[in-house]
Structure 1
Amino acid sequence: MAFTPMMIDLYDRHVVIVGGGKVALRRAKTLLKNDAVVTVISPKAVEDIVYLWTKGQLLWKEKYIESTDLKGAFLIIVATNDPIVNYNVINWAPEESLINAAADVEKGNVAFPSFFRRGDLSISVSTNGASPQFAVKMKKELECLYNEDYGDYVDFLSVCRQLIKESFLDRYQQKLLLKEILSEEFLDRERQRSFIESLNKNGKMIERVNQNDG
């Protein structure tokens, strides 16, 4: 099975996590960071899940899963160590629900890649379940390559893109400038500041575009 990479907005979406162990905790933390409404269903839960529940960050139902518990779930996380329970949850899932089967990715239709963020920059790695450890290894290497400076750099790109789109320049000229700021030279904050200043000064911008075009 090959999964299609995509980004998804989970804001205010109802997510049910079946299981209360370490995998369930990892999924819960990821989902909460993305403003999902999380319900954990398990007769037992690790201490950190209980803590999140006591803080009101998620709902914990201290019980065994029933089919009715899955009603209205946008996403269902199957994360128990009981194959029979996992099998039942997958078969009980409403047709419209997305399913992540933590123990056997191919039995669901959603996979959680290894990922990290630098501000608005998100980088993820997936092996379609073939080797989660290799995905983690690749993620660590990319984290070293794309350090915290890239969060500010992406903010800079966003500001420049908006200013350039609103400028008097034609599409070709805009494209030249957008290509220019992809240079690693612009990881330097002073160069970023200078470029944004030039965007707000018509004369300097015309001169810069002419140089690029030449």
Structure 2
Amino acid sequence: MKVLIFAGTTEGRELLEFCEKNGIDASACVATQYGKELMEGNEHIISGRKDEEEIISLLQTEDFRLVVDATHPYASAVTRNVRKACARTNVRYIRLLRDAETAEDAVYFRDIRQAAEYLSGTEGNILCAIGAKEVEQLCVLAEYQKRVIPRILPAGESIEKCRRLGFENVIAKKGPFSVEENEADLKRYRCSYLVTKESGSAGGFGEKAEAAKKTGVRLLVIERPAEKNGISKKEVETILTECKEAKGYFPLFADIRGKKAVVVGGGEVASRRVKTLCRFAFEIVVVSRSFSKEMTELAKRGRILAKQKEFEAEDIEGAFLVVAATSDRELNQKIGEAAKRQGIFASIADCAEECSFYFPAIAETENLTAGIVGSGKNHGEVKEAAQKVRECLYDYKSGQ
């Protein structure tokens, strides 16, 4: 199962590292180039801000089946887009929530505008540790250029924004920061106020609160948006592990009477697949430029419908399952992609990774049927197991 982590936070980076360590197929999506650099050169990084439609395209193109939203607690617009995109594409969505923290003697505000109104009637310098996204909200303060000291990530766009707004002192460095580092910044700029978000332990909230207390600085906290549906990082890691260990192919026994099965290919492998399908009540269509002797006989008897032609995506419309068994790798891949677009089960004879179902070896008696599948990589093992199951069924029928 492919996993996509919407990151940009400490937890996002740690989750990607967890996946790499445990052999889980995962990629991370970050909003900025700087965010990509913070992931320490990992190859499975997708960068760039994406709206709802772009997220949908990404999920469908890369076939992600699980999304972990580990974006910042204040990135509510991103979370909304990710959640909607997952709902529209039927992709499982998990929201990671940071543990909340509170600080004694802090003043809490619903947003930065409300904090700016409070500060408008005060004096003294302000260390603003909310990032660059909303720092312009403090430009309403008198002499904000001198009073407000933004502390931002050392990303080019953030630094340029602060310069453009006219801030005389800007701290550009990566957090989270220790108590001592926070104290040093507060003392260096003779700050009377520290404005921060309730970013949890991963965002260094406790260290900022402790530094403010030690230096006698008034702590102003922007409340995080209320979220109810989410789980901890530890719980996310448990789910990721369960997904890795879960079997990806379910042995589906369904009523297929009258349902259409399409086999593309006319050679030896395709013939074996068709012979197996003929033991069941499928309406079988075989598409190929040429047919084996066995296929030709089946077509004459009316058991299959043979279409001697080049494959087209329209050939599988309305099918319950498709088998791609040609000798052309690119054509098999094309068939699998067409089946995926149409939501059809597909077995790709020369590539297990592209299958949405594995073609089983069959063991049966008059009233019992067993299907044996493997990982798609050890056909000999499946063949041997199928023979043993046939022997067991024979012994059962004989009463042995």
TM-score w.r.t. length of structure 1? 0.66
- Alignment of 1:14 onto 2:260: yes
Structure 2 residue aligned with 1:145:
392
1:40-91 per-position Cα deviation (integer Å, ceiling 9, x unaligned): 0001111000110011111101111012212211211111010111121122
Query: Which of 51, 73, 84 is equivalent to 2:297?
Result: 51
Tell whether the 8 Å contact from 1:121 to 1:150 is kept in structure 2 after alignment. Answer: no
Alpha-carbon offset, residue 141 of structure 1: 2.4
Tell whether the 8 Å contact from 1:67 to 1:89 is kept in structure 2 after alignment. Answer: yes
> Relative contact order: is structure 1 or structure 2 higher (C-alpha 8 Å, sep ≥ 6)?
1
Structure 2 residue aligned with 1:131:
378
Off by >6 Å, runs of 4+ in structure 1: none
Q: How many angstroms apart in 2 are the aligned matches of 1:78 and 1:90?
A: 7
Tell whether the 8 Å contact from 1:121 to 1:151 is kept in structure 2 after alignment. Answer: no
Amino acid at match of 1:15: A
1:122-146 per-position Cα deviation (integer Å, ceiling 9, x unaligned): 2332222131101111222232333
Tell whether the 8 Å contact from 1:74 to 1:96 is kept in structure 2 after alignment. Answer: no
Q: How many angstroms apart in 2 are the aligned matches of 1:54 and 1:130?
A: 35
Structure 2 residue aligned with 1:70:
316
Structure 2 residue aligned with 1:119:
366
Tell whether the 8 Å contact from 1:119 to 1:151 is kept in structure 2 after alignment. Answer: no
Alpha-carbon offset, residue 27 of structure 1: 1.5
Classify the secondary structure of the residue corresponding to 1:146: helix
- Alignment of 1:91 onto 2:337: yes
Q: How many angstroms apart in 1 are the aligned matches of 2:316 and 2:391?
A: 40
Classify the secondary structure of the residue corresponding to 2:294: helix
Classify the secondary structure of the residue corresponding to 1:123: strand
TM-score w.r.t. length of structure 2? 0.36
- Rg (Cα) greater in structure: 2
Structure 1 residue aligned with 2:272:
26
Amino acid at match of 2:396: Y
| Structure with higher helix content | 1
Consecutive unaligned residues of structure 1, counting only runs of 5 or more, are 153-186, 189-214
1:156-197 per-position Cα deviation (integer Å, ceiling 9, x unaligned): xxxxxxxxxxxxxxxxxxxxxxxxxxxxxxx37xxxxxxxxx
Alpha-carbon offset, residue 106 of structure 1: 2.1
Tell whether the 8 Å contact from 2:324 to 2:349 is kept in structure 1 after alignment. Answer: yes
Identical positions, percent? 27
| Structure with higher strand content | 2
Structure 1 residue aligned with 2:282:
36
Tell whether the 8 Å contact from 2:321 to 2:344 is kept in structure 1 after alignment. Answer: yes
Amino acid at match of 1:55: R
Alpha-carbon offset, residue 119 of structure 1: 2.0
Structure 1 residue aligned with 2:13:
none
- Alignment of 1:105 onto 2:352: yes
Q: How many angstroms apart in 2 are the aligned matches of 1:142 and 1:62?
A: 37
Q: How many angstroms apart in 2 are the aligned matches of 1:142 and 1:76?
A: 26
Q: How many angstroms apart in 2 are the aligned matches of 1:69 and 1:40?
A: 9
Amino acid at match of 1:10: I
Q: How many angstroms apart in 1 are the aligned matches of 2:382 and 2:313?
A: 33
Q: How many angstroms apart in 2 are the aligned matches of 1:60 and 1:66?
A: 14
Structure 1 residue aligned with 2:138:
none
Amino acid at match of 2:371: S
Amino acid at match of 1:26: R
Aligned length: 153
Amino acid at match of 2:297: Y
